[in-house]
Amino acid sequence: MAAAGRDPDRVYVLQGISPIIGGTDAEARAERERLEALIPEATGLSFLSDYFPGVDFEGLTLDDRAKDAGLDRLELDKSDYRKHRPVIARDNPTLREVYSLLTGSFSDDGLVGTPEKIADTLERWFAERAADGFMLIAPSLPGGLERFVDGVVPILQRRGLFRTEYEGATLREHLGLPVPENRYARQPRAESRK
């Protein structure tokens, strides 16, 4: 940021998250499986075909495995694929699970579990400066939102990581960002033609 002329302390990374919360880790994993089962076959295969050009998905279903399509052996220059490739090679997930990983539809294991586990993950990411804040993408409504607000938020508040009151009326004020100078107001007026 500094090399681009911006103050690194004034640039915030807000990570999108889609936590799946249950009373136990097993309940949360079962909920993830239930939600993944709702992905329409045509939608999932169409996305994968577009994402992996040259891979033939003909005759495959979302319940087939990544290795059936050769996804564990691809050399693909996409950051999200590079991030998930070790998991794909090691665990041989279903194509449905690959779709979920690549679209971010459903969270990785750090964001699937009890409210305490979700809070621990968010706190770790924040403490390690991996994110300055989070944008919640509830995996289901209203339940996914309610489980986060009722379960995770109070834990984060007790830890001093989530506000209990707002400091202002705008997102800019909540983040403590200054109002940028209007670049058009700085320009001198062109002299009128005579």
Contact in structure between 40 and 34 (CB atoms under 8 Å): no
Model pLDDT, residue 144 = 94
Model pLDDT, residue 146 = 97
Contact in structure between 50 and 76 (CB atoms under 8 Å): no
Question: Are residues 100 and 120 both part of a single domain?
Answer: no
Residue 174 covered by a domain? no
Summarize pLDDT for 153-169 with one digit per residue, the tens.
Answer: 999 999 999 999 987 89
Question: Are residues 44 and 96 both part of a single domain?
Answer: yes
SS3 at position 86 = helix
108, two tokens: 């990785």
Question: Are residues 17 and 60 both part of a single domain?
Answer: no
Residue 92 covered by a domain? yes
The tally of domains found in the chain comes to 2
Question: Are residues 18 and 45 both part of a single domain?
Answer: no
What distance in Å separates the CA atoms of residue 125 and residue 180, rounded to the nearest whole number? 28
* Residue from 44, 52, 139 nearest 95 by CA: 44
Question: Are residues 135 and 97 both part of a single domain?
Answer: no
Model pLDDT, residue 187 = 63
Angle (CA) 13 81 132, round 5°: 10
Model pLDDT, residue 151 = 98
* Residue 68: DSSP 8-state: G
Model pLDDT, residue 91 = 93
Model pLDDT, residue 188 = 60
What distance in Å separates the CA atoms of residue 86 and residue 150, rounded to the nearest whole number? 35
Residues of the chain with pLDDT under 70: 104-108, 186-194
Q: 14-17 and 20-21: which strand pairing?
A: unpaired
Long-range contacts of 113-117 (CB under 8 A, 24+ apart): 113/20, 113/21, 113/22, 113/24, 113/25, 113/28, 114/21, 114/22, 114/23, 114/24, 114/25, 114/28, 114/151, 115/21, 115/147, 115/151, 115/152, 115/155, 116/155, 117/25
Model pLDDT, residue 28 = 94
Q: How many CB atoms neighbour CB 105 within 10 A? A: 19
Residue 56's domain comprises 40-104
Question: Are residues 48 and 86 both part of a single domain?
Answer: yes
